[in-house]
Structures are given as structure tokens and as C-alpha cells.
Amino acid sequence: MTHPQRFLQTILAAPQDDTPRYKYANWLEGCGNPLGEFIRLQCSLAREPQLEYERREQELLAEFRDDWSLSLEDHVGWLSFRRGFVEEIALSDKQLIRHAAHLFQSSPVLDIHLHSDGKRLDALPDLPHLRHTLFLDISAQNLGDPGAARLADALMLARVHGLNLGSNFIGDEGLIALSDSLFLGELRELYLNDNLITDDGVRQLVLSPIVERLKVLDVRSTKIGPDGVAILRHILGDKVLA
């Protein structure tokens, strides 16, 4: 489905705000379009689960999901609706590189699950016109240090507030490359769990300005010892998951 630009642009400009979505829902309901009801239902469910609303939500999805996602479905592996729009997608790095402009101009995407062998991560697209930040999940992809180093050079990281790199065989070399990245100024959540990082990598990480801005740092199931955890907690306190 193609949304009228006068409504879509206000939603893209403030994706966390329900007010533009309700205004669009009013217009849709006036046109007899069931998407208006769906937007209202999902916005209500985001605030408080209600069994009756959940049943109606599933009825509408079963009947109209293909129509509502038609413009995006060929460009992603899977997608999920939140508050009436596609906000979560899974796709390959090739798909993201090729279709980024269309994806982000069509829906207020907030969460991305990326499939990658690590070889193209430095080519992830610049998103200078995006007005919000993203959560980027590249976990369990076997990136290793080379993949982490390429990711550190990706312009797209400038629009990422959350980065999940869990279970990727990343060691100290990859962590150091990430900590030296020029594009992580918006980063607030970093998940490094189940990797090969040691205290040596931690000592380099804490020299980066990235660390003091973090709200969550997950280093569970790594090779970081008590000394490394103590260093991190000296800076971040209980924001460290270890």
C-alpha cells in the first residue's frame, strides 16, 4: 500500500509519536479503509495488551497483510507491523544496500535484523535524511574480526543507537576497530555477549568516547575476566551486563 505523502512524511519525521498516526487513522476511517482501525488497534495494544483488540488485530492482518506490505515484501526476508506500520524488518546486506532508500521512505522502520557474511558491511548505506535512529541486529553471523572492522567503516552506523553483535566470534582486534569508528556517536546500547573479547580489548575500549555514552553494555559469556569487568563498571556501573 502507498500512503499519501502528507500523512506519511509526518509519521516518518516522528516515528515514536502516535499523534500523526491517529490523524492518518481518522482520514483512513473516513475513507472506509480498514487500515485506520488497524492503526488504532496496534497503537492501543502498544500501551496495554487487550485480548479483544489482539483478536481483531489478527483478523485484520490475516485479511489485509499482503496488501499493506506489498511495496516492501519483495525487498526483505520478513517484516513485522507495529502501531499500524512496518517497523521491524529482516533482510540481507545486499538487500539493504540496494533498497535502503525505498525502505526508509516507505515506512518508519526502527529495527533491522541483518544477515551478512561480513564482506559488505563497510558498504552499508549512508542515511543522511533519516530523522530517527535504528536498532541494528547482526548477531550470530560469524563476522569475526574482519567483519567487525568493515562494519566500523559503515556510514550507516551514524544512525544506529543500538547494535547487537552477540555470537559473532569477535575478538579484541574487532572490538578495537569498533571503538575507533568515526560513526558511533549515537550509540547507546552495545551487545557483545558470547564473543572472544578479553581484558586487553576492554582496556582499549574504555579509551573510546563511545563508552561513556552507553546506557547498556552486554559482555556476558566473553573471555573478559574480573579485572576487565571492574574497569567497565568503574565507568558504567550497573549499565554493564557481565
Structural domains in the chain, CATH included, are: 116-241 (3.80.10.10)
Q: Is the dihedral of CA 25, 31, 35, 37 positive or negative?
A: positive
- Mean pLDDT (whole number) for 216-228: 98
Helix (H), strand (E), coil (C) string for 194-234: CCCCCHHHHHHHCCCCHHHHCCEEECCCCCCCHHHHHHHHH
> Band of the pLDDT at 84, cuts 50, 70, 90?
very high
Name the strand (E) or helix (H) holding 147: helix 144-152
> Over the stretch 175-218, which tens digit does the pLDDT of each residue have?
999 999 999 999 999 999 999 999 999 999 999 999 999 999 99
Taking residues 94-110, report their average pLDDT: 95
CA-to-CA distance for 211 and 219, rounded, in angstroms?
A: 13
165 CB contacts (<8 Å, ≥6 apart)?
Answer: 138, 139, 143, 148, 151, 178, 190, 191, 192, 195
* Residue 62 reports pLDDT greater than 80: yes
pTM reported for the whole predicted model: 0.95
Over residues 108-133, mean pLDDT: 95
Model confidence at 16, pLDDT cuts 50, 70, 90, reads: very high
Tell me the per-residue pLDDT of 34-55, one tens digit each, with 9 for 90 and over.
999 999 999 999 999 999 999 9
Strand, helix or coil for residue 20 = helix
Q: Give the chain's mean pLDDT.
A: 96
Please state whether 84 falls in left (phi above 0), alpha (psi between -120 and 50) or beta: left
Dist. CA 126–CA 113, nearest whole Å = 17
Distance, in Å, from the CA atom of 4 to the CA atom of 24, rounded to the nearest integer, reads 9
CA distances from 200 to 10, 17, 232 (A): 46, 42, 12
Comparing 73-77, 91-95, 223-227, the range with the smallest average pLDDT is: 73-77
Q: What mean pLDDT do residues 123-132 have?
A: 93
**Do 108 and 135 meet the contact criterion of CB atoms below 8 Å apart?**
no
- State the residue for C-alpha cell 552507553: 214
Whether residue 1 has pLDDT greater than 90: no
* pLDDT computed for residue 168 by the predictor: 98
Helix (H) or strand (E) holding 81: strand 78-82
Q: Is the pLDDT of residue 2 over 90?
A: no
CA 17/CA 209 separation, integer angstroms: 30
Q: Which residue has the cell 586487553?
A: 200
Do 227 and 242 form a contact (C-beta atoms < 8 A)? no
**223 pLDDT more than 80:** yes
For the chain, give percent helix, strand, coil, nearest 5: 50, 15, 35
